[in-house]
Amino acid sequence: MKVKVGINGYGTIGKRVAWAVMKQPDMELVGVVKTRPDWEVLSAVKMGLKLFTLKDRVRDFHEFGVEVHGTVEDLIRSVDVVIDATPEDVGKTYKPLYEALGRKAIFQGGEEEDVAEVSFNALVNYSEALGKKFVRVVSCNTTGLLRVIHALSRVSKVRSVRGVIVRRGADLKEVKKGPIEGLVLNPPKPPSHHALDVKTVIKDLDIITYAVVAPTTLAHIHTLYVRLSQPATKEAVIDALNATPRILLVNGKILKSTAELRELARDLGRPNGDIYENVVWEDSVWVNNDEVMLTYAVHQEAIVVPENVDAVRAVTSLVKDPLESIKITDETLGIKRWL
Amino acid sequence: MKVKVGINGYGTIGKRVAWAVMKQPDMELVGVVKTRPDWEVLSAVKMGLKLFTLKDRVRDFHEFGVEVHGTVEDLIRSVDVVIDATPEDVGKTYKPLYEALGRKAIFQGGEEEDVAEVSFNALVNYSEALGKKFVRVVSCNTTGLLRVIHALSRVSKVRSVRGVIVRRGADLKEVKKGPIEGLVLNPPKPPSHHALDVKTVIKDLDIITYAVVAPTTLAHIHTLYVRLSQPATKEAVIDALNATPRILLVNGKILKSTAELRELARDLGRPNGDIYENVVWEDSVWVNNDEVMLTYAVHQEAIVVPENVDAVRAVTSLVKDPLESIKITDETLGIKRWL
Sign for the CA dihedral angle at A84, A88, A89, A90 comes to: negative
Which residue, A69, A17, A14, is CA-closest to A40? A14
Q: Which helix (H) or strand (E) holds A13?
A: helix A12-22
Task: Pick the catalytic residue from A135, A138, A140, A218.
Answer: A140
Taking only the tens place, the pLDDT of each residue in B327-337 is 999 999 999 98
Are residues A259 and B179, on separate chains, in Cβ contact within 8 Å?
yes
Tell me whether residues A219 and B183 touch, CB distance under 8 A. Answer: yes
Check residue B163 and give its pLDDT.
98
**B299 closest CA partner among B245, B263, B339, B253:** B263
Q: Are A152 and A292 in contact (CB under 8 A)?
A: yes
Look at residue B339 and tell me whether its pLDDT is greater than 80: no
Q: How far apart are CA B197 and CA A218, in angstroms?
A: 31
pLDDT of residue A202: 98
Average pLDDT across chain B, whole number: 97
Closest among B166, B142, B167, B147 to B277, alpha carbons compared: B147
Mean pLDDT of A66-73: 97
Judge if the upstream peptide bond of residue A96 is cis by omega within 30 degrees of 0. Answer: no
Please report, rounded to a whole number, the percentage of residues in chain B having pLDDT higher than 70. Answer: 100
Q: What is the mean pLDDT of the segment spanning A41-47?
A: 96
Q: Do the Cβ atoms of B172 and B235 come closer than 8 Å? A: no
Work out the average pLDDT over A275-289: 98
pLDDT band at A337 (very low <50, low <70, confident <90, very high): confident
List the domain boundaries for chain A: 3-138+304-333, 141-298
- CB spacing of A215 vs B216 below 8 angstroms: yes
Interface contact A181-B217, CB threshold 8 A: yes
Average pLDDT along chain A: 97
Euclidean distance between the first and final Cα of chain A, in Å? 32
* Each residue's pLDDT tens digit, B59-87: 999 999 999 999 999 999 999 999 999 99
Q: Which H or E element spans position A145?
A: helix A140-153
Strands B3-8 and B27-33: parallel
| Distance (Å) of CA B21 to CA B104, B105, B306, B312, B328 | 16, 15, 9, 9, 11
Which of B181, B223, B256 comes nearest A259 by C-beta?
Answer: B181
Per-residue model confidence (pLDDT) at position B337 = 87
Chain B environment of A207 (Cβ under 8 Å): none
* CB-based contacts of A84, cutoff 8 Å, min separation 6: A8, A9, A91, A94, A98, A105, A106, A107, A108, A111
> With contacts defined as CB-CB under 8 Å, which chain B residues touch A191?
286
Task: Note the pLDDT tens digit of each residue in B184-194.
Answer: 999 999 999 99
Q: Does A265 touch chain B (CB under 8 A)?
A: no
Cβ of B189 and A295 within 8 Å?
A: no
Return the number of other C-beta atoms located less than 10 Å from residue A233's C-beta.
Answer: 10
Distance from the Cα of A220 to chain B's closest Cα (Å) equals 8
Q: Which CATH class is domain B3-138+304-333?
A: alpha beta
Q: Could you give the CA distance from residue A208 to residue B287 in angstroms, rounded to a whole number?
A: 11
The annotation places the binding site of A at 12-13, 110, 139-141, 168, 194-195, 300
* Rounded Cα distance, A78 and A91, in Å: 19
Q: Which residues of A touch B237 (CB under 8 A)?
A: none
CA dist B6 and B29 (Å) reads: 6
Q: What is the DSSP string of A169-229?
A: S--TT-TT---SSS-EESSSSSSPHHHHHHTTTSTT--EEEEEEEES-SS-EEEEEEEEES
- Which residue in the set A187, A214, A283 is minimally distant from B189, CB to CB? A283
How confident is the model over A118-171, as pLDDT tens digits? 999 999 999 999 999 999 999 999 999 999 999 999 999 999 999 999 999 999
Coil, helix or strand at residue A281? strand
Rg of the Cα atoms in chain A? 20
| Residue B140 binned pLDDT confidence (cut-offs 50, 70, 90) | very high
Range A43-70 average pLDDT: 97
A85 band by pLDDT with thresholds 50, 70 and 90:
very high
Taking an 8 Å cut-off on Cβ atoms, the answer to whether B218 and A181 are in contact is yes
The answer to whether A178 and A169 have CB atoms below 8 angstroms apart is yes
How far lies B114's CA from each of B98, B119, B121, in Å?
Answer: 15, 9, 16
CA distance A191 to A164: 10
Name chain B contacts of A182, Cβ cutoff 8 Å: 216, 218, 257-260, 262
- pLDDT tens digit string along A321-336? 999 999 999 999 999 9
The CB-based long-range contact list for A94-98 (8 Å cut-off, 24+ gap) reads: A94/A8, A95/A134, A97/A72, A97/A73, A98/A134
Residue A1: predicted pLDDT = 85
What's the pLDDT score for residue B338? Answer: 80
Tell me what pLDDT residue A338 has. Answer: 80
B140 among known catalytic residues: yes
- Does domain A141-298 match CATH 3.30.360.10? yes
Distance from CA of A253 to the nearest CA of B (A): 8
Beta bridge partners of B297: B221, B279
Among the listed residues B140, B228, B302, B335, the single catalytic one is B140
| Omega within 30 of 0 (cis) for the link into A191 | yes
Q: What is the spatial distance between Cα A74 and Cα A145, in angstroms, rounded to a whole number?
A: 37
Mean pLDDT of A251-261: 97
Q: Are B214 and B170 in contact (CB under 8 A)?
A: no
CB burial of A78-103 (b: ≥16 within 10 Å; e: otherwise) equals bbbbbbbbbeeebbbebbeebeeeeb
Q: Which of B186, B218, B221, B264 to mutate to test the interface with A (most CBs of A within 10 A)?
A: B221
pLDDT at A224 over 90: yes
Coil, helix or strand at residue A160: strand
Q: Which residue has the higher pLDDT, A338 or A262?
A: A262
